[in-house]
Amino acid sequence: MSGYATTGLQTLGELPWGSHVCQFFSNGTDLRDTLVPYFKAGLENNERCLLVAMEPFGADDARSALRGAVADFDRRERRKQIEIHDVRAWYNSDSIINGEEIVAGLLASEAQARADGYNGFRTHGNIGWLGRNQWEDFQDYEAGVTRGLRGRRMISMCSYCLDSCGSKELLDVTTRHSLALTRQRDGWSCVAVTPHEPNGRSLNGSAAHLTRSVRVVTDDQDLRQSLERQRRTFDLAMVASDMGTWRYTLADNICVYDENAQRLYGLTEARFLHDDEGVKAKFHPDDLELMWSRVAKALDPKGSGRYDVEYRVRQLDGGWRWLSAWGLVEFEGDGLGRKPVAIAGASRDLTKLKQAEEMQALLLNELNHRIKNTLATVQAIAGSTIRASRTMDEFQQAFYGRIATLSKTHSLLTDNEQRFVPLRQLLKHELEIYEDGDGHRIILSGPEIMLPAHVSVSYAMAIHELTTNALKYGALSVLDGVLRVSWTLEGTRLVLTWEELNVPITKQPTQAGFGTQLLQRLLPRQLGAQVEMNFAPDGLKAGISIEIG
């Protein structure tokens, strides 16, 4: 009886019994293109088959597709040569993964299939149900499957969605299987890998032996082209994801970095000596204790051999770059003689993520600060408005108008990422509803100025009070009134001039309302503003000078 099983896939051809394949897919079409020929070949080879499916290629989809590919599929399913199950009937993201029990069940099914006269046992499972909290236990189970399949007339395929796998997950999965199947532009591509235990030990012997056992490539030229395609794909993936690979050997205390990693670490050559001087010059002093503790934990012969840390490294220009580094320790020997010899892994640029986290923290602090200030402002507005109002209707109208101005200003802040407000836009929001349509009643002139967030709220309230005064008593209250607002930037000071024209003023006001108090008292106290107000015979002339640098 042959030691190989036909896979039905042109890329794989025949596989040795005992193979454990991982597939990385993007959509339901990827699953259909592999699973239909895979199980068709198994059925036609008189193997018992088990398909555990879920979206995007569920049990009903698989059954329908196989019925179209295998003429007597229904009869084979009734005879239980093939069983198709929805994975959710077996597992969910809260399930406890008992790897030894599941592997034992698979091996028992293989033995029963042989006893029932079948040539072997073929399985597939979609791993989309897996929760993050189950990941480590499930990868231990995958390693157990690879061990358990040795010498068995069984092949097993596991499918992982690429969208759910980061760089670490891809490394975990491929090192727990004997072959990796991925979609390329010109079809499916298969790579033979050396599967490892979670502790870093090889499961299947050397990669060279495994590669020889997979009869996929027919001649040396095909082999070279296949390896070159894989190398290009890997290199492009590393560059696109801001990643690089490295290998550190304990014997000589040297880490060798690929070109991508050299860029990330700010190195000019591949070999880097990890002595005290080199490490202190390259890695941020605040991160050294954590880094060495993670190294020690990974090198412990009794541990898992996993290395995972985040740190800052000095660049060629003297700046710092945040990196995430992870890897697996390679061990030699067994029992008391087991010892670490190297760590192989990858690193990824985290600088943008760290900057985003810092910005998020800054914005949260700013939000808390702004909420407190806003509540204090509302309280002050309410108190001042009620003292200046003679009736409840007068209070309600004035108070609502001032709160609306506050709301508009915060909307402008939100539109500009909570940092700046365009001065021209602030003025337009307040004044444009009073324009006569010809552009002659309200005249705005000045350069584009961005008000800082800490200035904009109080400044907007001042503009609102000037507008309210103009609407009641000034240029916006008479038919021929003209309002001219101009501003300039003198160094880092914003100088704004408010001029109302064609407004007959017979006498100066004798009582300072809320608007006048805001301009003459609160603005200088809150923002250090310089304020001048002059009720000229033809209308109010006001000037506000404020530091915005």
List CB contacts of 240: < 8 A, sequence separation 6 or more.
none
Structural domain that includes position 204: 4-241
Q: How far apart are CA 134 and CA 97, in angstroms?
A: 7
Confidence grade of residue 233 (pLDDT, cut at 50, 70, 90):
low
- Residue 202 DSSP label: B
Pairing of β 493-501 and β 450-452 = unpaired
Distance CA 317, CA 70 (A): 64
Alpha carbon distance 367, 335 (integer Å)? 57
**Residue 223 clears pLDDT 50, i.e. is over it:** no
Residue 353 predicted with pLDDT over 90: no
User: Which domain-ending residue is among 241, 260, 279?
Assistant: 241
Say what the pLDDT of residue 75 is: 95
CA distances for 343 relative to 52, 254, 266, 307, 365, angstroms: 36, 11, 20, 8, 41
Both 94 and 188 in one domain: the answer is yes
Do the Cβ atoms of 270 and 256 come closer than 8 Å? yes
Structure tokens at 230: 């894989």
> Please, what's the b/e burial string for 511-546 (b: 16 or more CB within 10 A of its CB; e: otherwise)?
eebbbbebbeebbeebbebebebebeebbbbbebbb
pLDDT band at 362 (very low <50, low <70, confident <90, very high): low
Report DSSP letters for 207-276, one per residue. Answer: HHHHHHH-B---SHHHHHHHHHHHHHHHHHHHHHTTEEEEEEETTTTEEEE-HHHHHHHT-SSSEEE-SH
Look up residue 474 and give its two tokens.
């000034």
CA 140 centroid distance within chain: 26
**Percentage, residues of the chain above pLDDT 90:** 39
- Report whether pLDDT(219) > 50: no
Whether 44 and 177 have beta carbons less than 8 Å apart is answered as no
Same domain, 375 and 514: yes
Cβ-contact 112, 47 below 8 angstroms:
no
In whole angstroms, give the CA distance from residue 497 to residue 485: 6
Q: For residues 188 and 291, state if they share a domain.
A: no
Residue 453: the pLDDT is: 76
Which range, of 64-78, 193-207, 397-411, averages the lowest pLDDT? 193-207
Side chain identity at residue 434, one-letter code: Y
Residue 277 to residue 232: CA distance in whole angstroms: 36
Pairing label, strands 154-161, 20-25: parallel
How far, CA to CA in Å, does 425 sit from each of 411, 413, 416, 438, 452? 11, 11, 12, 19, 14
Q: Which of 328, 349, 370 is the last residue of a domain?
A: 349
Determine if the pTM surpasses 0.95.
no
pLDDT at 476: 83
Domain final residue, candidates 349, 380, 401: 349
- In the predicted model, is pLDDT for residue 483 greater than 90? yes
Band (pLDDT 50/70/90 cuts) for residue 41 is: very high
373 pLDDT tier (thresholds 50, 70, 90) = low
User: What is the reported pLDDT for 403?
Assistant: 76
Residue 231 confidence (pLDDT) above 70: no
Question: Is the per-residue pLDDT at 11 higher than 90?
Answer: no
Same-domain status, 403 and 537: yes
pLDDT number for residue 35: 95
Domain identity same for 213 and 81: yes
**If DSSP codes are grouped into helix, strand and coil, which group holds residue 468?**
helix
pLDDT band per the 50, 70, 90 thresholds, residue 517: low
How is residue 81 annotated by DSSP? S
The pLDDT tens digits for 95-135 are: 778 888 889 999 999 999 999 999 999 999 999 888 888 88
Question: Which residue carries 């879920």 as its tokens?
Answer: 54
Is the CA virtual torsion 462, 463, 464, 470 positive or negative? Answer: positive
| Rg for the chain, CA atoms, rounded | 36
- Give the pLDDT mean for 220-230: 52
Give the CATH number for residue 535: 3.30.565.10
Q: In what order do the strands lie in the sheet with 442-445?
A: 442-445, 482-490, 493-501, 539-547, 530-536
Residues 165 and 309 grouped into a single domain: no
CB atoms within 10 A of CB 111: 14
At residue 536, does pLDDT exceed 90? no
Q: Which residues pair with 123 in a beta bridge?
A: 50, 156
Q: Are residues 144 and 117 in the same domain?
A: yes
459 and 481 both lie in a single domain: yes
What is the model's pLDDT at position 150? 87
pLDDT band at 520 (very low <50, low <70, confident <90, very high): confident
Q: At residue 196, what is the residue type?
A: H
pLDDT at 70 over 90: yes
* pLDDT of the residue at 216: 36
Over pLDDT 70: what percentage of the chain? 78
pLDDT digits (tens, 9 = 90+) for 171-191: 788 888 888 888 766 667 776
- Tell me the average pLDDT of the chain: 81
Distances in Å between the Cα of 306 and the Cα atoms of 35, 141, 272, 300, 311 are 33, 17, 22, 10, 16
Q: Which pLDDT band holds residue 363 (cuts at 50, 70, 90)?
A: low
Considering only residues 29 and 1, tell me which one the structure prediction assigns the higher pLDDT. 29
Which of 192-206, 399-413, 453-467 ranks highest by mean pLDDT? 453-467
Total tally of structural domains belonging to the chain = 3
Indicate the pLDDT class of residue 9, thresholds 50, 70 and 90. confident
- Assess whether 248 and 237 both reside in one domain: no
Q: Residue 15's domain is classified under what CATH number? A: 3.40.50.300
Q: What are phi and psi of 134, to 5 degrees?
A: -100, 0
CA–CA distances in Å: residue 300 to residues 121, 179, 309, 333, 344: 39, 29, 16, 13, 15
pLDDT tens-digit map of 405-464: 667 666 665 554 556 788 998 898 878 767 766 778 899 999 999 988 778 877 887 887
Q: Choose between 239 and 78: higher pLDDT.
A: 78
Q: Which helix (H) or strand (E) holds 520?
A: none
Same domain, 62 and 81: yes
Task: Tell me the three state secondary structure of residue 511.
Answer: coil
**Domain harbouring 250, CATH code:** 3.30.450.20
**Residue from 59, 108, 67, 64 nearest 88 by CA:** 59
> Are residues 373 and 409 part of one domain?
yes
What local confidence, expressed as pLDDT, does residue 96 receive? 79
Tokens 């050299």 belong to: 262
* Band of residue 49 on the pLDDT scale cut at 50, 70, 90: very high
- Say yes or no: 481 and 372 in one domain: yes
pLDDT of residue 134: 86
pLDDT of residue 509: 56
* Contact residues for 193 (Cβ-Cβ < 8 A; gap 6+): 174, 175, 177, 178, 179, 180, 207, 210
140/172 Cα distance (integer angstroms): 10
Q: How many residues does the chain have?
A: 549
Average pLDDT over residues 156-160: 94
Tell me, what's the pLDDT at 200? Answer: 44
Tell me what pLDDT residue 213 has: 35
- Average pLDDT of 264-276? 93
